Amino acid sequence: MHVPSRRKNKSFYRHLEFEWNNTGMVISFDRCVAENAVLRFREREVRRAVRAVAKRLGHVSQGSSERRFYVLGTIDDHAAFDLLHKLDTRLVSIASRPFHPKVVERVLGISTRERLRWSKDGRLPRSGSATFSKGGLITVATHPADKTLELAESPGIIMAWRRADSPELEG
């Protein structure tokens, strides 16, 4: 793996920003949540993942920004970049994981009945299914997180779907 020189003050490693200074390293995930709505929605999970990696590198303190961690001490370049690569992979996994039905309902402000109807007729996109055990095996549809958040940013679409469904519901 190519390891950038410490002479570069700032580096961007796909979703992360980090910089070396005379006391150690600063890891910031501000750009992650700024550029990706799913990571912004799952910011607590992102913060935990970044903190876990930072702790593996050395003593950690959190900066004035909650999206920045300071790793104090001497840090081995290869170990640091290996861990940062693993963190990057973890962030991609967090961003690509679909939403479960209850999350979709909460994010969109819709009822279970609306979610089921709109999933069935194709208006609400599905990404697959998840199976879990609760007294027996239960399978539920999952929904792409990015598309769900796009819908949440356009409440007019949800209102139009409700208006389109209202004659059906009255009859």
The C-alpha atoms of residue 67 and residue 26 are separated, in whole angstroms, by 10
Tell me, yes or no, whether 62 and 114 share the same domain. no
Q: Is residue 86 one of the residues assigned to a domain?
A: yes
Q: For residues 68 and 20, give the distance between their C-alpha atoms in angstroms, rounded to a whole number.
A: 13
Same domain flag for 122 and 50: no
- Domain boundary at 68, 96, 124, which? 96
Distance CA 117, CA 139 (A): 17
Same domain (yes/no): 39, 87: yes
Are 77 and 131 contained in the same domain? no
| Exposed / middle / buried, residue 122 (Cβ in 10 Å: 0-12, 13-18, 19+) | exposed
Residue 168 is predicted with a pLDDT of: 61
Residues 15 and 89 in one domain: yes
Q: Are residues 17 and 86 in the same domain?
A: yes
96, 123, 149 - which closes a domain? 96
pTM (two decimals): 0.77
Residues 18 and 88 in one domain: yes
117 and 87 in a common domain:
no
Same domain, 40 and 115: no
- Do 19 and 67 have their domain in common? yes
Q: Which domain holds residue 125?
A: 101-170
Query: Tens digit of pLDDT per residue, the chain (171 long)?
Result: 444 444 444 445 567 888 888 888 888 898 888 888 999 999 999 999 999 988 888 888 886 678 888 888 887 878 888 888 888 888 989 999 999 999 999 999 999 999 999 999 999 999 999 998 888 999 999 999 999 999 999 999 999 999 999 876 554
Last residue in a domain, options 96, 124, 144: 96
* CA 47 centroid distance within chain: 10
Contact yes or no for 27/68 (Cβ under 8 A): yes
Please give the tally of structural domains in the chain: 2
Within this chain, do residues 85 and 129 fall inside the same structural domain, yes or no?
Answer: no
Residue 133, φ and ψ in degrees, nearest 5? -110, 125
Q: Are residues 44 and 20 in the same domain?
A: yes
Whether residue 16 is contained in a domain is answered as yes
35 found inside a domain: yes
